[in-house]
Amino acid sequence: MTTAYEAAELLEVRLHGHRVAYRMAGDGPPILLIHGITSSSETWNGVFGHLSQSHTVIAPDLIGHGQSAKPRGDYSMGAYASGLRDLFIALDIDSATFVGHSLGGGIAMQMAYQFPERCERLVLVSSGGLGREVSLLLRAATLPGSELVIPLMMKAGLLDAGRSVGSLMGRVGLKPGTDMEQMAHGWATLADAHAMRAFVHTLRASVDPSGQRVDARDRLYLAGEGPSLIVWGARDRIIPLRHGEEAHELVPGSRFEVFAQAGHFPHLDEPARFARLLAEFIGSTEPGMVDYSRLRELATSR
């Protein structure tokens, strides 16, 4: 059995000719953990062992991230959702509780929208796609030529060990701690040209210099058809807490939990609490059932 802080083994499957890396352990109701941009399945290490004691836990490296392939191709939310559906098919998993952090939250919502029969519950953690505001650093990375400038900065050693990017993050409002460490680590991965290209394509698919341009709020009422949990860090400087508060108001019957001392990564700041909350939420709710006549009624009444 995977212990609380032990990383599950990194496995691999080929989908459509591309390598997809993932971690999978445990036995029980499936949970899909979807990481954010420039991150990987490693971000869930602190909760993986807790959850795999009573659940089958699947944490992929999204295409373009971690140890998965980084091809030229489609990095839209819809493409990511379809790729995770294909991973489910390859692993013979029918449905799961979708848990998405940051970009992963947007992907989880997209996957629930495209493939509602596969979504038992929806858990959004400091999620993207719920409002326009996002950190200045991410908006700046969408500017024309950023894919040329960032590699030059790294080649010059300006981002060495995350020191300079950490200083920059401090100037745009991020505080020392988990948020700065994780963002600096993520940016350090962009020294790889293929990862850099995937990052830019992924970011520009949902963000522009004025903020997030993919907004799920006009369809968020559909999430009320199944159990939903929204988790946010009160000190999040990357995506504001207000986005979570407004999403909670838009999703009938949703549960909203704020980690008062956490920033953008509540699952890293308080992993044991996060794992307990998620396990309790799953254990106290029944999987959502798709009623297409109900979905048709909801969609056409708006």
Residues noted as catalytic: 102, 236, 264
Residue 96: strand pairing partners: 119
φ, ψ for residue 67, nearest 5 deg: -95, 5
CA nearest to 102, candidates 118, 126, 82: 126
Q: What is the 3-state secondary structure (H, E, C) of 100-160?
A: EECHHHHHHHHHHHHCHHHEEEEEEECCCCCCCCCCHHHHHCCCCCHHHHHHHHHHCCCCH
Are 122 and 108 in contact by the 8 Å Cβ rule? The answer is yes
Question: What is the chain's alpha carbon radius of gyration, rounded to the nearest angstrom?
Answer: 18
Helices (H), the chain: 45-52, 77-91, 103-114, 136-140, 146-155, 163-171, 178-188, 193-204, 241-250, 266-269, 271-283, 292-301
